Amino acid sequence: MRILFITAYFPPCQYGWGYMRICEQVADGLAERGHDVAVLTSTYQDGPEVKPYPVFRHLTIEPDWLLPDSPAKQFFFGRKQREKTAVSHLHQTIQQFKPDVLFVWDAFGLSDVMLREAEQSGIPVAYYFANYLPEFPGGYVHYWSSANSHPLVKLAKLPMSLLAKAMLAQEGKPIKLKYQHTISVSDYVRQRLLSQNLIGADAIVAPNAVDLAMFSGEPRQPEPNATLHCLVAGRVASEKGIHTILHAFGHLHEKGQLRNISLTILGKGPDEYKEHLKQLVVRYQLEKFTIFADPVPIEAMPSILAEHDLLLLPSEWDEPLSCSMLEAMAAGLMVIGTTRGGSGEALFHGKTGLTFKDSQPKALAEQLLAVMRDHRLVARLAAAGQVEVETNFNMDVSVSRIEDYLAELVGVKTAVANAPT
């Protein structure tokens, strides 16, 4: 097959995080299996191009929050021309590469006008969802509907917002994409989108699998009186529920039950939330138990994981499927977390880890107390979690599912094209 990936970001690039990294692994995997691969992505690039397949860096992000110009200015100046340019780049890339299938990976920020053109190109289009993109209107529709929530700011910008919404309506936006053929990162995402009739009925699941060559290690077997090193990694934001951990630590500390345990909070996010977390540390006198650390490149994460015993996943939103959870399990850490969204498809209480209800510090405290009292529990569940990931969430399994699905789309298209008239 000749597969053209269309995605917002692609390595080498400092944006896009886990979504981009998995896209690269799937593209590499399909290329290694003998398929012709190319990538059409945004202009963002940090470093030399090293792929054996072509990467076309032509697209713009709309709206692009990384630019000095505000989204409002981006909307009123040059937007229509950028949409036309994106469509032109799509047609040029199709003409040059001649793909059998278009595989839209990370579509957040890509022009809906271009994606509609892709759907109307006559070439099969498949989408990959590690998010809930079909639930959202186009980027600028969402911006003008949700931005400036502060009452005074919203009032001041009301005339501009009304004008922008009128312009979008006149342009026929939001554009309703078909999303006829889709691959979801978890069954939760698939079922959620199917229940709203937002995707086609042939949707399948291919998890955001782990690179087992990068994330591996012996399951943790801490000594009975050793310190348990806990880690929470990723975006430091309220929906990630990190405050729940500190409340749980505080609850145990007040009862004199917080012993031989530490917590590293690795990542960045809104300054006000991080300040709130630091205030909780002071409030509960957790200074000697807690470390705040800056995020590290993905290449450094295996070393970070090797220094810890447990990953805590206190998410308070519907995680499509947590990359950090799967990577930690593959590296031999035990996971204690919530099962919001797709997390419950890998994290099973008492089998591959321990679970608790989100926003319930005392429930988390109970699980922490269990592992502090019996370190053998850490060893047993860490080993079981690692087997779960190696068996069901490895990259070969995901690439095979994606390969079969795309081949079926191409086969159907070829059969129709070759059918007698």
In contact, 39 and 7? CB cutoff 8 Å: yes
Question: What is the pLDDT confidence band of residue 217, given thresholds at 50, 70 and 90?
Answer: very high
Structure token pair of residue 74: 């981006």
Mark whether 260 and 280 lie in a shared domain.
Answer: yes
366, part of any domain: yes
**Residues 53 and 118 grouped into a single domain:** yes
Q: What CATH code is carried by the domain that includes residue 72?
A: 3.40.50.2000
Task: Please tell me the least confidently modeled range out of 96-105, 274-283, 360-369, 393-402.
Answer: 393-402
Residue 309 falls within a domain, yes or no? yes
Q: Identify whether 174 is preceded by a cis peptide bond (ω within 30 of 0).
A: yes
Condensed to tens digits (0 to 9), the pLDDT of residues 66-95 reads 999 999 999 999 999 999 999 999 999 999
Whether 156 has a pLDDT exceeding 90, the answer reads no
For residue 223, tell me if it sits in a domain: no
Q: How confident is the model at residue 147 (pLDDT cuts 50, 70, 90)?
A: low
Least confident of 39-48, 132-141, 266-275, 358-367: 132-141
Whether residue 162 lies inside any domain: the answer is yes
How far is it, in rounded angstroms, from Cα 312 to Cα 324? Answer: 10
Nearest CA-CA partner of 395 in 44, 30, 142: 30
On the question of pLDDT at 150 being above 90, the answer is no
pLDDT at residue 416 above 50?
no
Percentage of the chain beyond pLDDT 90 is 85
pLDDT mean over 340-367: 97
Domain co-membership, 262 together with 155? no
pLDDT value for 341: 96
Residue 384 and residue 399 in one domain: no
Q: Does residue 150 share a domain with residue 192?
A: yes
Give the range among 23-27, 207-211, 266-270, 271-275 with minimum mean pLDDT.
207-211
Number of structural domains the chain divides into: 2
User: Is 113 found in the same domain as 48?
Assistant: yes
For residue 281, being part of any structural domain is answered with: yes
- 397 exposure class (CB count in 10 Å sphere: 0-12, 13-18, 19+): middle
- Residue 337 and residue 313 in one domain: yes
Reply yes or no: is the peptide bond before residue 12 cis, omega within 30 of 0. Answer: yes
Q: Are residues 401 and 378 in the same domain?
A: no
331-340 average pLDDT score: 97
Domain hosting 181: range is: 2-209+395-418
Residue 219 lies in a domain: no
| Domain co-membership, 185 together with 164 | yes
Residue 358 and residue 402 share a domain: no
Tell me: the pLDDT tens digits for 238-271? 999 999 999 999 999 999 999 999 999 999 999 9
For residue 335, the Cα-to-chain-centroid distance in whole angstroms is 18
- Pick the range with the lowest mean pLDDT from 136-140, 201-205, 405-409: 136-140
Q: Are residues 165 and 266 in the same domain?
A: no
User: What pLDDT score was predicted for residue 2?
Assistant: 97
List the strands of the sheet with 125-129, edge to edge. Answer: 55-59, 36-42, 2-6, 101-104, 125-129, 181-184, 204-205
The structure tokens listed for 101 are: 């299938």
261-266 and 228-233 beta bridge pairing: parallel
Per the CB < 8 A criterion, the answer to whether 314 and 284 are in contact is: no
pLDDT value of position 154: 66
Mean pLDDT across the chain: 93
In a domain, 216, yes or no: no
Whether 79 is in a domain gets the answer yes
User: Is 161 found in the same domain as 135?
Assistant: yes
Can you tell me the distance from the alpha carbon of 331 to that of 327, in angstroms, rounded to the nearest whole number?
6
- % of the chain at pLDDT higher than 70: 95
Inter-residue contact 7 to 105 (CB < 8 Å):
yes
Instruction: Please compute the mean of the pLDDT values over residues 10-38 and round it to a whole number.
Output: 91
